[in-house]
Amino acid sequence: KAGVTQTPRYLIKTRGQQVTLSCSPISGHRSVSWYQQTPGQGLQFLFEYFSETQRNKGNFPGRFSGRQFSNSRSEMNVSTLELGDSALYLCASSLVQSYDTEAFFGQGTRLTVV
Amino acid sequence: TQLLEQSPQFLSIQEGENLTVYCNSSSVFSSLQWYRQEPGEGPVLLVTVVTGGEVKKLKRLTFQFGDARKDSSLHITAAQTGDTGLYLCAGAGFQKLVFGTGTRLLVSP
């Protein structure tokens, strides 16, 4: 079966702009989690969506937001981009809540803010 | 704040050597997962350990969960170049996965 698909793979944005990243989970998976990965901070949890509802949120500013659609596809948005937002953004899908079951990760979107 | 510290951060070894990676925390986790991530890819789950003291083997990889469910180790026997990658532990608790700081392993021929 198809894996987790993230689009786009690479993005270059300017400070102050906003960006929307997309994640299509594995068919049948209802949970989508988003993570930010940087060399200095490692993998940091952003938020998790399950059946269109945000179930948990990490310690990120309100500029980071997300949503999930009825087909379980998810988007995350970052507004007013800062240089420090440059990172690999990963989404993971799982059948149910991600923390207690296998999470399948996409290849990520590498965002560069200049 | 839950923290998972991994050691060592970097490891460069020759093919055929053995190695152990440690994942330590002051928090108790309901389960602990180990992932491997290769360049340009997302992490891939290797194993989940649930019970304190549990040992799981995956070919040349041996995973152990500490008795108190606060720490874990990954031992690789006779490392191969294909084992090169970033190894991440992740603890399940408080309704989210908390990832460790990562161990970057390089196995040279």
A108, B42: Cβ pair inside 8 Å? yes
In chain A, residues with a C-beta closer than 8 Å to the C-beta of B46 are none
Q: What are phi and psi of B53, to 5 degrees?
A: 85, -5
Is the confidence at residue B1, as pLDDT, over 60? Answer: no
Backbone conformation region of residue B81, classed left if phi is above 0, alpha if psi is from -120 to 50, else beta: alpha
B81: CB partners within 8 A, 6+ apart: B15, B107, B108, B109
Predicted pLDDT of residue A99: 61
Report chain B's mean pLDDT, rounded to a whole number. 93
pLDDT 10s digits, B74-108: 999 999 999 999 999 999 876 778 899 999 999 99
B97, A98: Cβ pair inside 8 Å? yes
Predicted pLDDT of residue A101: 72
Tell me the C-alpha distance between A80 and A92, whole Å: 25
Tell me the C-alpha distance between A14 and A9, whole Å: 17
B2: DSSP letter: -
* B107-to-A62, A63, B80 alpha-carbon distances in Å: 41, 40, 6
- A95 in contact with chain B, both atoms CB, cutoff 8 A: no
Nearest CB partner across the interface for A42, out of B40, B45, B102: B102
Nearest chain B residue to A96 by CA distance is B95
Residues of chain A with pLDDT under 70: 1, 97-100
Please state, as a whole number, how many other Cβ atoms lie within 10 Å of the Cβ of residue A36.
23
In chain B, residues with a C-beta closer than 8 Å to the C-beta of A29 are none
Q: Which residue(s) pair with B56 in the sheet?
A: B63
